Amino acid sequence: MTVSRRTFIVGCSAAIAAMTGSAVRGLAFAQPGDTTRRDILVVVFLRGGCDGLSLVAPVNDPFYKGARGELRVEESGQNAGLLLSNTIPGADFRLHPRATLLQSLYINRSLAIVHACGLRNGTRSHFEAMDYMEGGIPESGVPANGWLARYLNSINASGYLPAVAAGTRVPFSMVGFNDAAALTDPTSFNLSWNSWRYRSQLNQALDAFYSGDSPVQQAGRTTLTAIARINERLPRDSQGRVIPYTPETGVRYPGGRGASLGNALRTVASLIKMDIGLLAATVDYGGWDTHEGQRWIFPELVAGLAEGLYAFYNDLWRYHDRLTVVVMSEFGRRLKANRSGGTDHGHGNVMLVLGEGIRGGKMYGVWPGLATEQLDNGVDLAITTDYRAVLAEILIKRGALQTVDQVFPGFRGSLLGLAYSPGETIERPHRVNLPLVTR
């Protein structure tokens, strides 16, 4: 059997992972040292297929009204959508009524919305759509590595922890970048050893074991270095015990259905504040496959998303000038509601982009309309903006990408103008601090 370098390194790292209190996957850190102030990209993936027609709804569209019934966001009344300015022509677009905190970010011109965008491949399979989208080259099928991995490799990303997945696994978008880790809690990212009496001997033994120059030994050595550096940055009390992470005063991450998102974003925020060279992070927020009971499930999901992003952005107010968050999902939902009070797999969708370097307070894209002849296959919102146009612009203007082909080979879509380039004057005061969450 042929063993790749990545497989080899993962096997080595698994031995160390077995001795850590964190769920670690495929650890293989680059040589430490790059902790410069480069832009940080956080990708929030809404797993399951978020209903973009409910998140940002064309409330006055007659075809929308007729197709959605009790699931629709309304123009007035108890389920009225939240007003948005600077929207695209074609309809009166409103945010879902549970997205009040997203509206605040939009009004602050920190949040941009892209509608009728997504993966042009017509698959309605969750797994295929996620692989195509995270691979970033859908015209060629599923590549060997992900778009985020290609980006990080193209900029020679390094540091103690240049890339992290806040969860139990590294997503496909990061596959191919060996310097990525999956962890759920930085405070448990250490060597588990029942007796402190033998900690010194353990460290000496591991240092000696990984002292050579083979890929296994290099991976083990840099993994140990990363563990040590993270533990150095953790606050401790007078007895040396780790103090749990405390967000900025007034910031509260969501509980309830949004707790998984809140916990993951809290983990990313704590790592960013350690200033250990984090350049990219991924967060998964599942549960969006609303085939039934959408009237009750979807509002709670939206509230969790809004509260999570709002808390995260407030928590990292000192990093606004170098932080970009993009929210995406594998596909949208069908225009017409089904008989189970839900919506089935669709096509076109919404993307959200958050950051001080974003021309927020504005919606981007071209609205295709919802008449039958305007729909994809006569049933779904058509796509007028390839999702890669959004990502490419972020990577070029806010990241360090030189050419689109390095990450999305063959992609020739136009950029939308939603991000500021370095040196451009941002059309609002720098570091605008939103009112902190006090609920």
pLDDT tens for residues 247-286? 999 999 999 999 999 999 999 999 999 998 999 999 999 9
Q: Is the residue at 436 inside a domain? A: no
Any domain includes 237: no
Residues 6+ apart with CB under 8 A from 179: 28, 29, 30, 152, 157, 158, 162, 163
CATH, residue 127: 3.40.720
Residue 431 lies in a domain: no
How large a percentage of the chain has pLDDT more than 90? 70
| Strands 93-95 vs 82-83: parallel, antiparallel or unpaired | antiparallel
For residue 414, being part of any structural domain is answered with no
How many separate domains does the chain show? 1
| Domain presence at residue 293 | yes
Q: Which helix (H) or strand (E) holds 225?
A: helix 215-233
Report how many helices (DSSP H) and strands (DSSP E) the chain contains, helices first.
11, 12
Within a domain: 29: no
Is there a domain that residue 268 lies in? yes
Is 418 domain-assigned? Answer: no
pTM for the full model?
Answer: 0.88
Across-strand partners of 283? 44
Q: Which domain holds residue 342?
A: 35-189+244-406
DSSP 110: -
Q: In a structure prediction context, what are the per-residue pLDDT tens digits for the chain, which is 439 residues long?
A: 333 334 334 444 444 444 444 433 333 333 444 445 578 999 999 999 999 999 999 999 999 999 999 999 999 999 999 999 999 999 999 999 999 999 999 999 999 999 999 999 989 999 999 999 999 999 888 999 999 999 999 999 987 789 999 998 999 999 999 888 888 888 876 555 544 455 566 666 666 766 777 656 655 665 676 677 788 888 899 988 889 999 999 999 999 999 999 999 999 999 999 998 999 999 999 999 999 999 999 999 999 999 999 999 999 999 999 999 999 999 999 999 999 999 999 999 999 999 999 999 999 999 999 999 999 999 999 999 999 999 999 999 999 899 999 999 999 999 999 999 988 888 764 444 566 543 3
